Amino acid sequence: MSKGLLVVSFGTSVAETRIKTIEALEKDLAAAFPERKAYRAWTSSIIRRKLRTSGELLVDSVEEAMERMLADGITDLLVQPTHMLPGGEYGKVTTAVQAFSSRFARLKLGKPLLTGKADVAAVAVVLEETFSDVGKDEMLALMGHGSAEAEENFYLLLAEAFRKDSRPNFCVGTVEEEPGFQPILAAAKEQQPKCIHLLPFMVVAGDHALNDMAGEEEDSWASMLRKEGFRVECILKGMGEFPQLRAMYVEKARQADAE
């Protein structure tokens, strides 16, 4: 059978972070499965349309990529999403895979980064080790996207994992849905850190990181915290830049392929 690998991401219009995160993930996954021809798809129709209209980049939807692979003669397909958790965007992938399942001789779907407490604990350790230089008199605040569709609130689970690891100064909030920004502000007021380091808990450091987190607008996290008198430093690195987390995605794909 002719084998294919489809790496599915949400997408980003920020080229710099795309290269460092999405493309880094694609390269790691392609290297892990050299026998498979690699393809790309993004689930965000808005970003795909924006880049297509500007002429900057042409990226398939999941359905378009699958049609392309069928036309190329792919019969054995492994699909690995780079989404953070099983929310609405991952749901788009599962729906497409189900619709195409009968058209491939073999079709396997890997899981997103966070699917259970073991994943959360592993990610917590990676972040704790990566940012071990953040002192106890400082704070690391993670900005997640938020999801109404995920069955579990992985952001709250991650915050709990940090507390269990004696890292109460590692805090988690979201742009949308629960828990929102409030846990970050509450922790800052309680702990009174000498510096708050803001980090996007997203695969890419894209629009949310640049604007909602680090932007100069008065409603960005950085602006709101500075207004409260805190010193703030923004770390514009997406989770896809960390090799240990990319390795977790590779392992997800290996598990799916072995089923």
CB 162, CB 170: distance < 8 Å = yes
How far apart, in whole angstroms, are the C-alpha atoms of residue 254 and residue 241?
A: 20
CB 199, CB 128: distance < 8 Å = no
Question: In 3-state terms, what secondary structure has residue 43?
Answer: coil
* Beta strand spans in 26-169 (E): 37-42, 76-81, 106-109, 139-144
**Which member of 83, 145, 197, 208 is catalytic?**
145
Given CA atoms 36, 256, 63, 147 in this order, what sign does their dihedral have? negative
How far apart, in whole angstroms, are the C-alpha atoms of residue 88 and residue 184?
A: 25
Is 208 labeled as catalytic in the residue annotation? no
- Non-local CB neighbours of 100 within 8 Å, separated by 6+ positions: 63, 66, 107
Distances from the Cα of 129 to the Cα of 122, 132, 162, angstroms: 11, 5, 12
The length of the chain is 259
Structure tokens at 9: 């991401």
Catalytic residues: 145
